Structure 1
Amino acid sequence: MASARLLQQLGSFQDTVTAWMPSAQPFTVAEVLRLSGTGSADLPDNWAESVTDLCKQALKALLDARQREGKRLTTMLQDRVDQLKTLAEKAEPLVPELVKQQKERFLERWKDAMALTEGSVSPEAAQDRALTEATSFAIRIDVAEEITRLRSHLDEITRLLGKGGDIGKRLDFLIQELHREANTLGSKSAALELTRISVDMKVLIEQMREQVQNIE
């Protein structure tokens, strides 16, 4: 029969493998008997030690591969973070100009309306109402808060990538928040350029989401 020490080693190796690869199948009784050398007279005396060394090598190769994959994912995610920050920088200066344009349009419309009313409304009252409407609209299209939150989420992702460890769930949450801010930016957009920026952001965020699924 296989020694208790060898069975314990096999069990320990199996636990380590399944911890890193949850989908890995556990040993069957037949596999344990075969690996332990039970009933095989042709195996060398130091066979158990050889199995231990091979298992250690296999685990090291697995960990090295995961480390390389982790570096690749980190590089990819940070690249997308940098691109999103660039898009945010492009979007930010567009907002004040859009607000200014909308106010000017409202004033022009109210001037046209005044001409049609033939003086039944005072110019001051018309202008005040036009500015009120323009201000209300400006508030609805202002995406400054969305851009600020988006940048904050991007900074947190960079921090987590540098920290490492068990960050998969946290990254997944931040990706969802990024997508929400990009959607809001698109829905509040009053210019084609802002709409394009929102679409580009969502493409990058979706690429990040797909990769984050591979991080624990």
Structure 2
Amino acid sequence: MVPKNGAGGNLIASMTGYARAQGSDDRRHWVWEARSVNGRNLEIRCRVPPGFDRLENPARAAVGGRMKRGNVSLTLTVTSERQTKPLAINRALLAELATLVEEVRKSTGAAPPSADGLLRVRGVIEEEDAGQETEEALATLDKALQASLDEALKGLVVSRAAEGKALAAVIDGHVAEIEALCSRATERALAQIGTVRARFEAQLAELLGRVPALSEERFAQEVALLVGKADVREELDRLNAHIAQARALLADARADNPVGRKFDFLCQEFNREANTLCSKSADIELTRIGIDLKGAVERMREQVQNVE
């Protein structure tokens, strides 16, 4: 059964999720966006505006404290509360331009430039800087930004858990399908032993009639050897053990015990046994069951790729 979500309950986590959080002060508004998709390891990409690079390392540490696997992208967008800043004239540049213009006018006789012409020169008119914020103000700002980041990451964890709940139900369905196919294979394998024995006995009896030197003892050995090669009970036992382990992984998954890597390896083992079952099958119906089993394992593996 899929573990139920709730207090003390265990649940696998998906590596897919999205969340955002926002905040503001008297000077600016900001938004954190957190996205994650599946990945073999934990990879973190952090994009912040110029001047906020100091937040990258704390942001990466915050992600690492909550997640073990996945490609996680963090984006910080900051906008000023003021639509436009006050304008100021760069008087030093303007004076330099006036001197150069006067020199050119005297040497060429050109008409003097108008005031609006000088003001159009890049750099003459600037947006006035309100000044550097104090260390105390920056510390307050960073604390507010990190609080919003924490809110976004909590939302991302919740999003991944919700996706994981649905994912667990899908995986549990695949495990049930594999279990049903293994039950059918077990029933067919028992019938296969008798069928194979009868077929090989008939073939060897015909051969024994053609080759009088073949002893009864050698005849029995050949029958036993061929029947043993077609015996798939060992593979079915291992498949049933893998089914039990898959259910244990679903039940034991939690934040401090991600099971994605273990589940991925288990799918490889499922596929190995299914391949052996098909190769040893001497019965068309058992071969069909084995092919269906491989398909069910592959469908489960595709879902497992997104488990943390």
Q: 1:7 to 1:111 in 2, by over 3 A?
A: closer
Mapped partners of 2:299, 2:74: distance in 1: 31
Alignment equivalent of 1:132, drawn from 213, 217, 221 = 221
1:157 is matched with 246
Aligned residue in 2 for 1:15: 61
Matched residue, 1:201: 293
Whole-angstrom distance in 2 between the partners of 1:97 and 1:129: 25
Between 1 and 2, higher relative CO (CA 8 Å, sep ≥ 6) is seen in 2
Over 3 Å counting, the alpha-carbon distance change for 1:52 and 1:147 in structure 2 is same
The equivalent position to 1:73 in structure 2, one of 142, 161, 167, is 167
Corresponding residue for residue 90 of structure 1 = 184
Give, in angstroms, the shift of residue 47 of structure 1.
5.8
Q: Is the 8 A contact 1:7 1:36 kept in 2?
A: no
SS at match of 1:215: coil
Checking the alignment, whether the CA contact within 8 Å between 1:17 and 1:24 is kept in structure 2 is no
CA RMSD of aligned residues (A): 3.3
Higher strand share: 2
| Conserved? CA contact 1:102–1:134, under 8 Å | no
Q: Where do residues 50-199 of structure 1 align in structure 2 (5 Å cutoff)?
A: 51-113=145-207, 115-116=209-210, 120=212, 125-126=215-216, 128-164=217-253, 165-199=257-291
* Percent pairwise identity: 30
Report whether the alignment pairs 1:24 with 2:73.
yes
Aligned residues: 197
Provide the rounded CA distance (Å) in 2 between the counterparts of 1:7 and 1:210: 37
TM-score (ref. length: structure 2): 0.55
Q: For each residue in 1:25-53, what CA deviation from the matched residue of structure 2 results, as whole angstroms up to 9, or x when unmatched?
A: 687xxx7xx6899x668xxx876665344
Question: Is 2:62–2:150's contact at 8 Å kept on the other side of the alignment?
Answer: no
CA contact (8 A) 1:36 1:48 kept: no
Identify if the C-alpha distance between structure 1 residues 40 and 204 changes in structure 2 by more than 3 Å, giving closer, same or farther: farther
Indicate the structure (1 or 2) with the bigger Cα radius of gyration.
2
SS state of the match for residue 73, structure 2? coil
CA shift, 1:95, in A, is: 1.9
Structure 1, unaligned runs of 5 or more? 1-5
TM-score (norm 1): 0.76
Higher fraction of helix:
1
- SS of alignment partner, residue 93 of structure 1: helix
Describe the superposition over 1:114-172 as per-residue Cα deviations: whole angstroms up to 9, x where unpaired.
5556xx459xx34x433322211111011101011111111111101111122122111
